[in-house]
Structure 1
């Protein structure tokens, strides 16, 4: 972290920081601002390049109609990221800027309404939780495809998409801790202790995911692929951030967390096997191998020691927990549909062997793959990363 607070003539009067540089104490790995994807995100990103607050009233009247679209989802992601690591060169005071929070609130209401429309009236919670334990017999999502027919390039695309989530894995759920009764709080912290490496920083799940990215020739830097990742993947992360940042939605956040812990082991097992088939080293499969066992245990903890105490609270009803689980799964379904449609498109338009496709031809929608908004160049992590060993106990 930078410790040399140099005085400047254009320092913000409240924070004492220069808007054009990282503030003292801001992590040096904060990503840069992404490129805009429409008039709304363009206006917000332009404002963030100046000291907070900036007048955003003209933007408020121009909120796009599609809450699932690129412009809205990127704008929401940028607003939420100010509560995580922020962005390099952005005044930290933007995190609590009233005009920006007002805009975010309008976008959140539209997005939450869209999630509720997708879910409809949720079934009883017991029925939802039981359903999460059942794998569909005819599964055809990304993990099934990568296991049976996926390519290494598709695995790289999948990891780039997932990096916006897994490099901040467990962070959104931490916002639930001060908002839960003590029994549920203790159980959630026990699960989170595992997520953050159980006292061993190198085994934090975000670190294991970064090592897996490097194994596949991807840049493991936090936020490196924000410009490449489209709205369906952003919506998965935004759903967690939406639930996490609002105390009124803490039951939905617990439902989302339960859905992740209950449904992930089978998919993690498929992905570990798929990546091994595609040439991954042990470092390239450890993240998913770790989740096969860990999440099976976490599922029991979440169901019996987090959810059960919540059901005793009048303002944490079962239907809201069920909604959180189903809303997250709907966002995941949209992401899976996007990936599979893009991969089918690429397969149907696959050029002849040895032929480099013309981006103008429509192959891959002008990119390496239609699942991403930009190509994935091979990343050389250098000897310090490539030579790092698999953490002790990785093959247990």
Structure 2
């Protein structure tokens, strides 16, 4: 993957430095007044690139940058802005004594009132809108499960076993062609989209990057372990029905079985994962660490809120008859 196009002073400075050999990095200055952090293209892209150094990296960036202390210090400044932005955007749920974690998560999800993007995709979206949706989701789905896997070595006992069980399914049970990221690549190819990793990084807006960045933030910091587990639980508990609708929509638009397999797989797998994540993983974690129940619920609330903001962004553009993607250039890699 190549470094993307800068979107402002943060990314311009960051990318210029990353193209050079590792050297002491001057910390970023104070955050300018402006739009909320989750909608700040410059901030979200800068943070995404910093996190990506812990995944597959960039061709023109020396791998020594990954653990350069001065870059980590600069990244911490970006993370503080993002965490503050999340705190303002996401009301922090308070656990109710005596209410099991599974029930608390279910009630949190039931209270979510965001627009039903999956219903629109099932019944009304045209082919270009469905391709847009898949383009957005490629930022996460081409590395699906990776951010949550950071939690495995930080757990013990039943919660660890539960997370491993979920992740093993996400990675195809040891079969490369069954990995969910590979199934999603097949969906992209079926829609004549470029299935290479990070192909559409320049096209997606801040909110799409924020969804991925929240997972990396929670996954890379042990202090956010409870939030990471709650995030995954919300992800799994809100997956089966929407994926069924995505499959219906893609079939309506002519998508074949191979193109729909990613969604069909999640209908069944996530119905099982929902129970494991809520009861065994999050419930087990809270039983081990009762004082951290609020963290679990906050992670779930972050997942729900960011997904709602994403749906509002996409649906808002479509209602106006405009693209929900950034219009900086033609969709690179489309066939």
Q: TM-score range by the shorter chain?
A: over 0.9
Distance in 1, Cα, partners of 2:32 & 2:142: 29
Describe the superposition over 1:240-287 as per-residue Cα deviations: whole angstroms up to 9, x where unpaired.
000000000000000000001101111000000000101111111110
Q: Measured at CA, do residues 315 and 71 of structure 1 come closer, stay the same or move farther in structure 2, by a change above 3 Å?
A: farther
Q: Are 1:255 and 2:230 counterparts?
A: yes
Q: Are 1:201 and 2:176 counterparts?
A: yes
Q: Measured at CA, do residues 133 and 109 of structure 1 come closer, stay the same or move farther in structure 2, by a change above 3 Å?
A: closer
Residue matched to 2:106? 130
Q: Measured at CA, do residues 243 and 275 of structure 1 come closer, stay the same or move farther in structure 2, by a change above 3 Å?
A: same
Question: Is this contact kept in 2: 1:77–1:234, CA < 8 A?
Answer: yes
Question: Is this contact kept in 2: 1:53–1:98, CA < 8 A?
Answer: no
Distance in 2, Cα, partners of 1:257 & 1:269: 19
Q: Are 1:50 and 2:20 counterparts?
A: yes
1:1-396 alignment, distance < 5 Å: 31-57=1-27, 60-65=28-33, 66-68=36-38, 69-124=40-95, 125-126=101-102, 128-131=104-107, 134=110, 140-314=115-289, 317-346=292-321, 364=322, 369-373=323-327, 374-376=329-331, 379-380=334-335
**1:200 to partner: Cα distance:** 1.1
Between 140-149 and 203-212, the greater mean CA deviation after superposition: 140-149
Q: Which has the larger radius of gyration?
A: 1
User: What is the TM-score normalised by the length of structure 1?
Assistant: 0.79
Question: Is this contact kept in 2: 1:251–1:320, CA < 8 A?
Answer: yes
Q: Measured at CA, do residues 193 and 106 of structure 1 come closer, stay the same or move farther in structure 2, by a change above 3 Å?
A: same
**1:316 to partner: Cα distance:** 5.9
Q: Measured at CA, do residues 108 and 276 of structure 1 come closer, stay the same or move farther in structure 2, by a change above 3 Å?
A: same
**1:86 to partner: Cα distance:** 0.3
The CA RMSD over aligned residues, in Å, is 1.8
Describe the superposition over 1:134-173 as per-residue Cα deviations: whole angstroms up to 9, x where unpaired.
497x874321111121010001110110001000100001
Distance in 1, Cα, partners of 2:169 & 2:142: 15
Aligned residues: 326
Q: Measured at CA, do residues 303 and 343 of structure 1 come closer, stay the same or move farther in structure 2, by a change above 3 Å?
A: same
**1:184 to partner: Cα distance:** 1.0
Aligned-partner SS, 2:37: coil
Higher RCO, 1 vs 2 (CA within 8 Å, ≥6 residues apart): 2
**1:187 to partner: Cα distance:** 1.2
**1:315 to partner: Cα distance:** 7.5
Q: Measured at CA, do residues 93 and 316 of structure 1 come closer, stay the same or move farther in structure 2, by a change above 3 Å?
A: farther
Distance in 1, Cα, partners of 2:141 & 2:122: 20
Question: Is this contact kept in 2: 1:132–1:263, CA < 8 A?
Answer: no
**1:127 to partner: Cα distance:** 5.0
Aligned-partner SS, 1:312: helix
Q: Which runs of 5+ in 2 are unaligned?
A: 96-100
Q: Measured at CA, do residues 182 and 121 of structure 1 come closer, stay the same or move farther in structure 2, by a change above 3 Å?
A: same
**1:91 to partner: Cα distance:** 0.4
**1:109 to partner: Cα distance:** 1.3
Distance in 2, Cα, partners of 1:277 & 1:345: 23
Residue matched to 2:98? none
User: What is the TM-score normalised by the length of structure 2?
Assistant: 0.92
Distance in 2, Cα, partners of 1:221 & 1:85: 12
Q: Which runs of 5+ in 1 are unaligned?
A: 1-30, 347-363, 381-396
Q: Measured at CA, do residues 201 and 135 of structure 1 come closer, stay the same or move farther in structure 2, by a change above 3 Å?
A: farther
**Higher helix proportion:** 2
Residue matched to 1:28? none
Between 293-302 and 96-105, the greater mean CA deviation after superposition: 96-105
